[in-house]
């Protein structure tokens, strides 16, 4: 994979690490540089007397450095990587040093995740888990009638009379959700509260009514959740915050393929200082499967490394149980240089797939779109994605990023990957004939 400066910088979510890495990338503190086309290595002189030893896997950007920093990658690894991207000619093809070979061999073998659980132990865990969920559901149902009545009052008395009470109600409901350990449901109520007055004129009313309606039917469903079929019931429970644990998901049947990282998003979690959430979309070469990997980082440190947008790995994924196959875990991954050519489609086919998923689970939040031969345009402040027949969909994008796409594509047709979210398209990655460009960073490179 040919790494760009933009892709390398995206490996770290910490601005200070990126800034310090760019200073190291000047090369004045780097020495003993080498590569074998799969890995690169080098030494970086720090503030102490001894240099730090750095090794980087070029397939996915994973790095190892013996410095005491707890960020991954650290500034030394990121700086060395940036220097390699800018000046690959100074990295000679030589035999790797002994301090690099052990980690390199481990990376070449891959890092499979193995979970050995007997059927008897698994059954006991399942029974215990279901008992705990039943208790939480009973706690949740105690105040469910009051919540349903509140939504009905909105319709009876009009939205305007409820506007001043919205935040008061939301705060009360959040206490209820916390007691029931239903953090997902709490987030849905927060989302409704934030729509009040959000937008020009009465724009917020449509979104408020839509979200309130979705919440109302969810409340009604929860009163009789036991009558729903098992896959649907599992999806609802995950929606409201009764999450499946990683160790319970990994033993489930896996799908093996060559997986391409189509795009990613990193965002701060509201009300949670120093906590980041990262969403990574995968596309399977043989199966055409789309999967969403979600993980969290405290102080910018993610526990797993997957590589940048456009990179690929051979491995297995496991979907979380539910009526819709979307969120998943990576069970095994081994680096690969094999290429994946995603199948991009027009509006009609993407919306047809979206309609199928929504009909199965109406509360689906985001859906991956792979759109072919698109152009970008605007009407006032609103930007649109248009096809060759001049059909258009609204985009969720800033003017700065829209202009960046125009510069990248020269206003020519391009393929694009992104999310359909809240009736808008959020572009994540632009695919041109020459390269792949992530466009979801907070700051656009110049």
List pLDDT tens digits, range 224-261. Answer: 888 889 899 999 988 988 888 888 898 899 999 999 99
Alpha-carbon distance 304 to 103, whole Å? 16
What is the average per-residue pLDDT within 217-221?
89
Return the number of other C-beta atoms located less than 10 Å from residue 361's C-beta: 17
Q: Is the pLDDT confidence value at 157 over 70?
A: no
What is the average per-residue pLDDT within 130-145?
75
Q: Is the pLDDT confidence value at 363 over 80?
A: yes
Average pLDDT, the chain: 83
Which single residue is written with the structure tokens 């930007």?
383
Instruction: Please give the radius of gyration of the chain, using alpha carbons only, rounded to the nearest integer.
Output: 24
Domain ranges of the chain: 5-109, 119-240, 250-335, 347-438
What is the average per-residue pLDDT within 283-299?
89
Distances (CA, A) of 263 to 25, 282, 419, 429, 440: 26, 8, 10, 6, 8
Q: Is the pLDDT confidence value at 171 over 90?
A: no
**Pairing status of strand 436-438 against strand 424-431:** antiparallel
Pick left, alpha or beta for residue 241 (phi over 0 → left; psi -120 to 50 → alpha; otherwise beta).
left
What is the average per-residue pLDDT within 398-426?
93
Q: Is the pLDDT confidence value at 158 over 70?
A: no
Whether 82 contacts 21, CB under 8 Å: yes
List pLDDT tens digits, range 5-33. Answer: 777 887 876 777 888 899 999 999 999 99
Per the structure block, which two tokens stand in for 35?
């590569």
Residue 63 backbone dihedrals phi, psi, to 5 degrees: -140, 155
To 10 degrees, what angle do helices 75-86 and 15-24 make? Answer: 50
pTM of the model: 0.73
Alpha-carbon distance 198 to 191, whole Å? 11
Residue 188's pLDDT is: 80
Give the 3-state secondary structure of the chain. Answer: CCCCHHHHHCCCCCHHHHHHHHHHCCCCCEEEEEECCCEEEEEEECCCCCEEEEEEECCCCCEEECCCCCCCCCHHHHHHHHHHHHCHHHCEECCCCHHHHHHHHHHHHCCCCCCCCCHHHHHHHHHHHHHHHHHHHHHHHCCHHHHHHHHHHHHHHCHHHHHCCHHHHHHHHHHHHHHCCCHHHHHHHHHHHHHCCCCCCCHHHHHHHHHHHHHHHHHHHHHCHHHCCHHHHHHHHHHHCCCCCHHHHCCCCCEEEEEEEEEEEEEECCCCCCEEEEEEEEEECCCCCEEEEEEEEECCEECCCCCCCCCEEEEEEEECCCCCCCEEEEEEEEECCCCCCCCCECHHHHHHHHHHHHHHCCCCCEEEEEEEEEEEEEECCEEEEECCCCCEEEECCCHHHHHHHHHHHCCCCEEEEEEEECCEEEEEEEECCCCEEECCCCCCCC
**Going by C-beta distance under 8 Å and a sequence separation of 6 or more, which residues neighbour residue 442?**
none
Residue 162's pLDDT is: 54
Residue 259's pLDDT is: 96
How far from chain centre, in Å, is Cα 192?
A: 22
| Three-point CA angle 286, 290, 291, nearest 5° | 120
| Three-point CA angle 199, 359, 133, nearest 5° | 90
CATH assignment of 347-438, given 3.90.550, 2.40.50, 2.40.10, 3.40.140?
Answer: 2.40.50
Per the structure block, which two tokens stand in for 121?
């132990």
List pLDDT tens digits, range 40-66. Answer: 999 999 877 789 999 999 887 888 999
Q: Is the pLDDT confidence value at 282 over 50?
A: yes
Q: Give percent of the chain with pLDDT exceeding 90.
A: 43
Whether 282 contacts 261, CB under 8 Å: yes
Q: Give percent of the chain with pLDDT exceeding 70.
A: 83
């Amino acid at each position: 994979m040919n790494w760009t400066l933009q892709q390398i910088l995206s490996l770290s979510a910490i601005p200070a690490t990126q800034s310090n890495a760019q200073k190291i990338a000047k090369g004045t503190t780097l020495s003993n540089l080498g590569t074998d086309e799969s890995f690169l290595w080098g030494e970086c002189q720090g503030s102490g007397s001894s240099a730090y030893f750095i090794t980087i896997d070029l397939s996915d950007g994973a790095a190892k450095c013996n410095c005491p920093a707890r960020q991954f990658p650290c500034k030394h690894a990121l700086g060395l990587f940036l220097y390699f991207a800018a000046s690959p000619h100074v990295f000679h093809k030589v035999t790797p040093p002994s301090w690099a070979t052990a980690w390199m061999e481990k990376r070449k073998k891959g890092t499979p995740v193995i979970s050995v659980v007997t059927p008897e132990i698994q059954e006991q865990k399942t029974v215990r888990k279901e008992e705990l969920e039943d208790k939480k559901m009973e706690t949740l149902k105690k105040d469910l009638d009051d919540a349903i009545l509140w939504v009905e009052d909105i319709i009876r008395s009009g939205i305007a009379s409820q506007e001043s009470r919205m935040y008061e109600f939301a705060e009360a409901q959040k206490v209820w959700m916390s007691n029931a350990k239903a953090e997902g449901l709490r987030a849905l109520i927060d989302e409704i509260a934030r729509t009040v007055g959000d937008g020009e004129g009465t724009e917020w009313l449509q979104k408020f009514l839509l979200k309130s309606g979705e919440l109302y039917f969810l409340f009604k469903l929860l009163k009789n959740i036991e009558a729903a079929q098992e896959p649907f019931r599992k999806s609802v429970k995950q929606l409201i915050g009764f999450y499946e644990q990683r160790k319970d998901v990994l033993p489930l049947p896996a799908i093996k393929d060559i997986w391409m990282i189509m795009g990613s998003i990193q965002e701060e979690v509201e009300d949670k200082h120093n906590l980041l959430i990262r969403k990574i979309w995968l596309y399977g070469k043989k199966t055409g499967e789309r999967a969403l990997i979600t993980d969290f980082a405290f102080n910018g440190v993610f526990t797993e490394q997957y590589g940048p947008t456009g990179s690929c790995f051979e491995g297995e994924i496991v979907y979380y149980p539910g009526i819709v196959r979307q969120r998943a875990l990576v069970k095994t991954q081994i680096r690969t240089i094999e290429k994946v050519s995603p199948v991009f489609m027009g509006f009609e086919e993407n919306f047809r797939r979206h309609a199928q998923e929504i009909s199965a689970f109406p509360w689906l939040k985001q859906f991956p779109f792979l759109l072919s031969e698109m152009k970008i345009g605007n009407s006032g402040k609103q930007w649109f994605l248009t096809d060759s027949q001049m059909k258009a969909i609204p985009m969720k994008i800033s003017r700065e990023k829209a202009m960046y796409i125009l510069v990248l594509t020269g206003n020519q047709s391009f393929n694009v990957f992104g999310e359909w979210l809240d009736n808008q398209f959020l572009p994540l990655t632009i695919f041109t004939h020459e390269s792949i460009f992530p466009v979801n960073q907070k700051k656009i490179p110049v």
